[in-house]
Amino acid sequence: MKPSLQLRIGHQLTMTPQLQQAIRLLQLSSVDLQTEIQEALETNAMLELQENPHAESAAEDEYDNSLEEAITYSPAHEDEAQERSWDNQMSGTSRSHHFQAPHGNEIETLNGTQITLQDHLLWQMQLTPFSDTDKLIAIAIIDAINEDGFLICTLEDIIATIKQVCDIDESEVEAVLHRIQHFDPIGVASRNLSECLKVQLEHLPSQFPWRNKAKELVTHHLELLGKRDYPALKRRLGLSLEDLKEVILCIQSLNPRPGTKIGSKTPEYIVPDVYTFKKEGIWQIELNPECTPQLRINDHYAALIRRSDSSADNQFLRNQLQEARWFLKSIENRNETLLKVARAIIEQQQAFLEYGEEAMKPLVLHDIATSLEMHESTISRVTTQKYLHTPRGTFELKYFFSSHVGTDEGGECSATAIRALIKKLIASENRKKPLSDCKLAQILAEQGIQVARRTIAKYREGMTIPPSNERKQLI
């Protein structure tokens, strides 16, 4: 068979750089998109933030009407005007939006430098009369304390670290450790929960009610308390049920994670990408203008491009202009797709907006993809790290998707609705006789929802709700 050349006509999908950029922007969160836009503004001179047309027009009229005022215009005023213009453009809309600075403690919440647990302990160490050797030991101990306030290495490890500088023994480390454990917060640098609670109890006045029995419990019987084995605790401690309640109340007043009192993490704020609100009885959808500043082509630089010029500089400007147009188109496509998907989700989940989680309908990616004639992978990208603000709170778009469970009437109930029902039942249960997974399944079956006990257990664990034996309370 001889080799030959043949011509064939066909279609082939090619992943162009423009398509790759559109897909990448589609899956970015609002925070990452802001970073991407800022990088584009810094690297591409053809892009600029959309200016307020009303402010621009007013500035031109003022210049035309009074040349003398323009000549004597203060540079400081010019900078101030440009700063106001920049603030307006960052709002992402032609309407006037002004950023209101937080007051008082809100600024600290947003930008304040929080002291860490290690800083707090080192400060107390400097105020404590330690010898030079003890200070080295204290620094090594403080450095080995985690965020919860527990010591995460052994005394042997600390000794091995200090021995590189000077010889010490375990008794010296124990002595320094004991002193640090009585720093603020009390119980910090403990090696386990039992020691942590014991140190806090030792710090209470000797006449404090049930202090000694509480020390005995946390020292020798903490495992029984974790299992809620109250009959065994009554026997071991020689207490009546009422007295045991008092001892447990004493222990519950302690802090099992003392380190969390100092240097807690700054809360992460979620910026919603889309808003939904009810207007004239109809649920409306709007993009958050703060998430996508309005961009445009810089007319000044675009005017520098000459068609007949083939120089390297002119070609560079052409490439920059084309990249800017692609970027703007990708942003536009992202916003349109996000709006379409959010609108389709709200159309399916209006019952949730009206009545809450228990009214959530079963919904999968395929349902939205089919209704919008898009691929499921596109829906997945759009709903990941994108947030919808509703009157019931702010939720990731993925939250509105859940599998379904059949009902006796032949209908379907979403897994989210079942979780809400389980949570509601557990919240209203008798704490002394909590509902078992079997009992929960039975109650749901009485409501026409057939759910296996193992499924109940899976949903309960997913909501970090302990089993019935651990939920049982003596008090």
- Establish how many alpha carbons lie within 13 A of residue 306's alpha carbon, considering only the half-sphere containing its beta carbon: 7
Q: For residue 405, which phi and psi values (nearest 5 degrees)?
A: -130, 140
The reply to whether omega before 258 is within 30° of 0 (cis) is: no
Buried b (16+ CB within 10 A) or exposed e, 320-354: bbebbebbbebbeebbebbbbbbbbbbebbbebbe
In angstroms and rounded to an integer, the radius of gyration of the C-alpha atoms of the chain is 33
Q: Does residue 93 carry a pLDDT above 50?
A: no
pLDDT tens, position by position, 340-380: 999 999 999 999 999 988 888 999 999 999 999 999 989 99
- Residues with Cβ within 8 Å of 449's Cβ and at least 6 positions away in sequence, in order, are 405, 407, 408, 413, 418, 421
Buried b (16+ CB within 10 A) or exposed e, 393-418: eebbbbbbbbebbeeeeeeebbbbbb
Six-digit token string for 22? 């559109």
pLDDT for the residue 65: 47
How far apart are alpha carbons 278 and 346 in whole angstroms?
11
Average pLDDT in the 211-230 region? Answer: 91
Q: Where are the alpha helices (DSSP H) in 279-311?
A: 299-302
Q: Does residue 61 carry a pLDDT above 70?
A: no
Q: Does residue 88 carry a pLDDT above 80?
A: no
Lowest-confidence pick of 156-165, 230-239, 353-362, 405-414: 405-414
- Kindly tell me the burial class for residue 465, based on how many C-beta atoms sit within 10 Å of its own C-beta (0-12, 13-18, 19 or more): middle
Q: How confident is the model at residue 112 (pLDDT cuts 50, 70, 90)?
A: very low
Residue 237: its H or E element:
helix 230-237
pLDDT for the residue 226: 87
Each domain of the chain, given as residue ranges in start order, spans 117-261, 404-471
How far apart are alpha carbons 375 and 382 in whole angstroms?
11
- Whole-model pTM: value is 0.60
pLDDT tens, position by position, 256-308: 999 988 865 556 678 899 999 999 989 999 999 888 778 889 888 888 887 76
Q: Strands 274-279 and 404-406: what pairing?
A: unpaired
- Domain formed by 404-471, architecture: Orthogonal Bundle (1.10)
Q: How confident is the model at residue 107 (pLDDT cuts 50, 70, 90)?
A: very low
Lowest-confidence pick of 20-24, 365-369, 386-390: 20-24
Q: Does residue 167 carry a pLDDT above 80?
A: yes
Average confidence score pLDDT of the chain? 81
Q: Which residue has the higher pLDDT, 271 or 217?
A: 217
pLDDT tens, position by position, 63-73: 444 333 333 33
pLDDT tens, position by position, 313-336: 888 888 999 999 999 999 999 999
